[in-house]
Amino acid sequence: MCTLSLSLRKFSFWVVPSMASFVESGWQFLITHFSDFQLACFGSFFLHESVFFLSGLPFVWFERVGWLSNYKIQGKNNSPAAQEKCIIRLILYHFGVNLPVVIFSYPVFKYMGMRSSLPLPSWNVILTQIIFYFILEDFVFYWGHRVLHTKWLYKHVHSVHHEYATPFGLTSEYAHPAEILFLGFATIIGPAVTGPHLVTLWLWMVLRVLETVEAHCGYHFPWSPSNFFPLYGGSDFHDYHHRLLYTKSGNYSSTFTYMDWIFGTDIGYRKLKALKRATVENNQCNKIYE
């Protein structure tokens, strides 16, 4: 046992510095060949597009071929035409709205202290900042999203996002340009306030994209994060939001569930879950006595 423990310590002592050295070498290459503006603007945009489409496109394919249908939350599927419409609009929105926003917000981030130079921040700093971003984003998003469900704003703005009552991964960013700007503020306010290192900003962006794609994927898998993290909303929580009319939807949070619980906007969802659990338990009891 002592030998195994010593071996593990030696392994971690060798692996962690080696990984850090590898990341720093890669980062050194980036800052040597690209300017701060290029990395912060075009690098961020390229990374976002890559992660978003690579994580979201498989769910388009799953719907078309019927793969993993036993994990699908809703029985309905989107038509290929509806999927293609979503993808085309997304490309237009990303180049027409997202990219200009990234470029014009660059001076603000620089003013607040964002940097791309070495040394890279420690993992403690990165983790602390990202946790803060998730908490702040969820709070701001909840209220912004709830406002968008008022009658006028829903009709003229937010209804675009709800064109897809059966969401799939890519619908997570399908929205009216005004909504992209309005709710996008929730995502960037944390980094804008703290002025993080660019590597922290990139990691936050990747995690946020993966989270929102998962929430809209339309599938609830055994390995879905909500099965392991009690406060995490995930696909099942957000899919309920898309299935109902705007006046009764609830479940307004982006990542966690506590805001909806505190303000009672998840009552319908919790009642539905309780009903489903009761139905399953009754069926199990009936099978036992048969």
Could you report the per-residue pLDDT of 136-166, keeping only the tens digit for each? 999 999 999 999 999 999 999 999 999 999 9
For 4-47, what is each residue's pLDDT tens digit? 444 434 444 444 456 667 889 999 999 999 999 999 999 999 99
CB 84 within 8 A of CB 171: no
Backbone angles phi, psi at 232, to 5 degrees: -85, 130
Adjacent-strand bridge partners of 256: 232
Beta carbons of 204 and 122 less than 8 angstroms apart? no
Q: Is residue 3 part of a domain?
A: no
| 8 found inside a domain | no
pLDDT cut 70: percent of the chain above it: 88
Residue 289 maps to a domain: no
Q: Is residue 223 part of a domain?
A: yes
Q: Is residue 12 part of a domain?
A: no
pLDDT of residue 199: 97
Asked if residue 6 belongs to a domain, the reply is: no
**Residue 176 Cα distances to 137, 181, 198, angstroms:** 20, 9, 28
pLDDT of residue 231: 93
CA distance 183 to 180: 6
Residue range of the domain that includes 201? 20-283
The residue whose two tokens read 């912060």 is 40
Per-residue pLDDT at 173 exceeds 60: yes
pLDDT band at 2 (very low <50, low <70, confident <90, very high): very low
- The Cβ of residue 197 has, within 10 Å, a number of other Cβ atoms equal to 22
Can you tell me whether residue 222 is helix, strand or coil?
A: coil
Q: Mean pLDDT, to the nearest integer, of 114-119?
A: 94
Summary mean pLDDT of the chain:
90
Q: What total number of domains does the chain contain?
A: 1
The structure's pTM equals: 0.88
Any domain includes 101: yes
Per-residue pLDDT tens over the stretch 235-249: 999 999 998 877 678
* 88 part of a folded domain: yes
Please give the pLDDT value at position 23.
Answer: 87
Q: Please give the pLDDT value at position 277.
A: 79
Q: For residue 247, how many C-alpha atoms fall within 13 Å in the half-sphere facing its CB?
A: 2
Closest CA to 117 of 30, 43, 201: 30
In tens, the pLDDT along 239-283 reads 999 988 776 789 999 999 999 999 999 999 999 889 887 776 566
